[in-house]
């Protein structure tokens, strides 16, 4: 009898210490904005429980995480530079710092030359009369140095871990068979000149104190837009450019292939079948505008040593983006890519004005991470809330860990400090009570209909 009392006390004390040792927090955002990263309670269960909704296997580890963010386009840089100094400082803090509610972006993308979100169409080598300039005598870095570089330096001061990638929307017009930045393809005789052009840009970025982490050779190479810079490049052409570019780049700059939609996984596979190009490819860049996210896994299964990134997807005023809301956006553009091997997620413009610009051609109803208003104020969009549930909590160097369960869409990572982070999306119109078990640690929390949750927990015994 006495032994039983002692055993019961021991078990009680053990369970109490287990309960106290696991620190768990949660934050919720709803599609209707009634909750915006609002802290909510998490019930810590004395586990394990028999049938949790989500079971985590911390021993099974997958890709490491580079980060989350969006693109510093000409539109974004012009709006940010045009803000009064204090408002600009606040906007940059919100985008790149994790202090005081900042998004903490670790990853950004810049165009090489103009995109549709520019107020002029230009490349970095536009000689008079579009005369051929294979020796790049008319190459100019001035615009980048005067606009993008100061903002990237400010961003890196706020977040020294910021990684920068770059993509051209077109080669200079004189390199193309259209003799224009609009439409056309690269002429075979200018493969080396285009490779030299990209390598020079990478060198200039490093000299300016903002070295590139990664580079793609063409944005959306299977699309020729009719009213803004673009260039069609076949897999054979891309392989030739990559083979010429690889030896010219510093080993610290990764070449990412494709930089286009999920609907054509055979395109990057074709480049990877070329040994001269494949030796320089370090990963595949994907966009969300066609196909399904499992394309990332299809290529990863063939080439498991290559990385994957979602490098562009824009929110905006169209279906299904309009009706999917924050929960749908988080499920399809944050959780889905990470569960299919993405090391990073980039949305499109960091900042746009309240007329979805400035832009010259292209998308007239896209939105940025923030909207900059004429009076200098800025407001976050749904894109900001969707990314915030990952970017504020998942640190660079985190590792995705295995999890299964279909109660809600979810992904789980292990941060460098040992904390676990789950991003979960309830895209249904019904509230859910969700349970998870991570070994002996079991948690339960409530998710409203059409909501996103971030959970963070750490077992202090380890």
Active site residues: 220, 312
Distance CA(279)–CA(259), nearest Å, equals 18
Distance CA(294)–CA(355), nearest Å, equals 34
Go through the chain and tell me how many residues it has: 462
* 162 in Cβ contact with 86 (< 8 Å): no
* 186 in Cβ contact with 176 (< 8 Å): yes
Look at residues 113, 33, 109 and name the one whose alpha carbon lies nearest to residue 66: 109
For CA atoms 343, 348, 353, 354, give the dihedral sign. Answer: negative
Look at residues 278, 259, 262 and name the one whose alpha carbon lies nearest to residue 270: 278
Distance CA(255)–CA(194), nearest Å, equals 14
- Structure-block tokens of residue 133: 């300039």
Look at residues 359, 382, 343, 293 and name the one whose alpha carbon lies nearest to residue 36: 382
Element (H, E) at 4: helix 2-21
Q: What is the DSSP letter of 140?
A: -
CA distances from 133 to 126, 172, 196, 217, 218 (A): 9, 9, 12, 19, 20
Look at residues 459, 443, 421, 389 and name the one whose alpha carbon lies nearest to residue 38: 389
* 349 in Cβ contact with 75 (< 8 Å): yes
132 SS3 class: coil
Distance CA(98)–CA(94), nearest Å, equals 8
């Amino acid at each position: 009898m006495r032994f039983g009392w002692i055993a019961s006390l021991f078990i009680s004390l053990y369970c109490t210490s287990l309960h106290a040792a696991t620190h768990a927090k949660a934050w919720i955002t709803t599609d209707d904005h009634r909750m915006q990263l609002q802290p909510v309670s998490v019930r810590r269960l004395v586990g394990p429980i028999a049938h949790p909704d989500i079971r985590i296997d911390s021993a099974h580890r997958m890709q490491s995480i580079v980060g989350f963010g969006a693109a510093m386009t000409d539109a974004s840089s012009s709006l940010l530079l045009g803000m009064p100094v204090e408002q600009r400082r606040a906007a940059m803090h919100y985008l790149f710092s994790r202090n005081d509610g900042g998004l903490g972006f670790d990853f950004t993308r810049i165009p090489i030359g103009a995109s549709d979100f520019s107020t002029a169409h230009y490349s970095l080598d536009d000689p008079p009369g579009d005369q051929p300039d294979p020796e790049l005598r008319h190459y100019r870095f001035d615009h980048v140095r005067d606009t993008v570089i100061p903002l990237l330096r400010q961003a890196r001061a706020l977040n020294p871990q910021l990684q920068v990638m770059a993509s051209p929307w077109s080669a200079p017009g004189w390199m193309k068979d259209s003799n224009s930045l609009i439409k056309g393809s690269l002429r075979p005789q200018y493969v080396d000149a285009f490779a030299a052009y990209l390598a020079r840009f990478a060198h200039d970025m490093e000299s300016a104190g903002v070295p590139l982490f990664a580079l793609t050779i063409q944005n959306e190479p299977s699309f020729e837009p009719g009213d803004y810079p673009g260039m069609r490049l076949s897999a054979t052409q891309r392989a030739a450019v990559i083979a010429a570019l690889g030896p010219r780049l510093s080993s610290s700059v990764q070449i990412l292939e494709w930089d286009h939609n999920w609907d054509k996984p055979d395109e990057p596979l074709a480049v990877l079948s070329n040994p001269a190009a494949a030796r320089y490819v370090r990963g595949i860049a994907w966009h969300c505008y066609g196909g399904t996210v499992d394309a990332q896994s299809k290529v990863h299964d063939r080439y498991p040593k290559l990385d994957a990134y979602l490098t562009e997807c824009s929110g905006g005023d169209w279906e299904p983006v309009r009706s999917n809301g924050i929960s749908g956006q988080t499920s399809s553009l944050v959780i889905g890519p990470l569960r299919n091997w993405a090391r990073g997620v980039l949305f499109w413009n960091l900042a746009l004005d309240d007329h979805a610009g400035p832009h010259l051609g292209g998308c007239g109803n896209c939105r940025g991470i923030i909207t900059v208003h004429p009076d200098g104020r800025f407001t976050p969009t749904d894109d900001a809330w969707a990314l915030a549930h990952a970017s504020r909590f998942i640190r660079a160097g985190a590792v995705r860990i295995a999890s299964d369960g279909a109660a809600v869409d979810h992904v789980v990572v292990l941060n460098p400090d040992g904390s676990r982070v789950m991003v979960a999306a309830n895209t249904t119109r019904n509230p859910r009570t969700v349970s998870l078990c991570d070994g002996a640690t079991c948690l339960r929390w409530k998710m409203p209909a059409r909501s996103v949750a971030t959970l963070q927990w750490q077992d202090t015994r380890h």
